Amino acid sequence: QARLVESGGGLAQAGDSLALSCTASERSFNNYVMGWFRQAPGGEREFVAALSASGEGTQYVDSVKGRFTIWRHNAKNTLYLQMNILKPEDTAVYFCAASVSGAGYYTRSSKDYDYWGQGTQVTVSS
């Protein structure tokens, strides 16, 4: 069964950087829109960033623009999220996801993403 596996989360201090990885089990994921979402304790799952199927287009939630970068390495079947200048409010479980139809790139809705990873915890202290 196709799956996504995240890694790279952990503890950081405000101002630090972390890089998340999401490795896909199948090469077909290279043809999908890919996204990152996050969910803070007690909160709803929130869109963070999306990468177009071609890899040339990106979308970011305003709160991470200029600090986070989404990109992928097709040969490694891996999606990345480089997170710089981390803030305590970035603390959450981060999930990668794949949108087969591609609608998720425009809607930013979790409902338009079909495959999900298990999540990786990011904790940022002040």
What are the pLDDT digits (tens) for 33-56?
999 999 999 999 999 999 999 999
What are the pLDDT digits (tens) for 22-34?
999 999 999 999 9
Alpha-carbon distance 63 to 16, whole Å?
16
